[in-house]
Structure 1
Amino acid sequence: MAVGRDRRWSLVRLWTSRPDLNATPGARRLTVDGRRWTRHEKGVADYSTEGRTPYAMSGRCDYVEYLHEGLFLSFERFGALSWEISTGSPVPADLVTAYREGDDAPPA
């Protein structure tokens, strides 16, 4: 799950890892999983990690995101590792309550 904020509203997406898909990002349009996807966003981000992770403590992540009728197809590559593919769908923000660490969150 990813929670973010756009200019006007909160964005919540439920992501599913898709190691079964064999695709490479780059083209403006892709046909993957029986759907025709259109590239929405691509870029590079710096990252840092904490705790157990298969990634380096810090580095760069390439990403490419595609859209198809409200669904998302995401490619991420951390450092020199292979592309990781995920599919995502929007979750109505009013169905999720998110707390920042230190806020008055109920005990887990």
Structure 2
Amino acid sequence: MAEMMRLVPLITLGLLSACGSTTVAPNGTTGTPPLLAQARDTGWIDRKPLNQRQAAVAIDPDGCQAWIIDDGAEGYAANRRDPASGLPVCGHGTPGYVYGEPRATDFPDILPY
């Protein structure tokens, strides 16, 4: 019985270490996180590289700019950054406004504004 009691801490430690080492592999067995967004248009009707589309500039509540493109079925957004420093472009525009036309195609919106 004393021998069994000495093994209890080792068994407990082994079980607890197994709990911390479980991996979730949503994209197969690699353990990489699931892909939530892609930086390209994957639509089958109007597929076109995003850098060939006209983007609008939206001003977020903090006053920083974001590029936005809406092609009806999908929408894209990315923070606008200064090419030299890589810092966000902020302070130019009214928060909550969109400058330019975000609709990139005549494809109707699935969910209207």
Taking structure 1 as the reference length, the TM-score comes to: 0.31
Say which one has the larger Rg. Answer: 2
Taking structure 2 as the reference length, the TM-score comes to: 0.30
Give the number of the structure whose residues are more often strand, by fraction: 1
Q: Which has the higher contact order (CA 8 A, sep 6+)?
A: 1
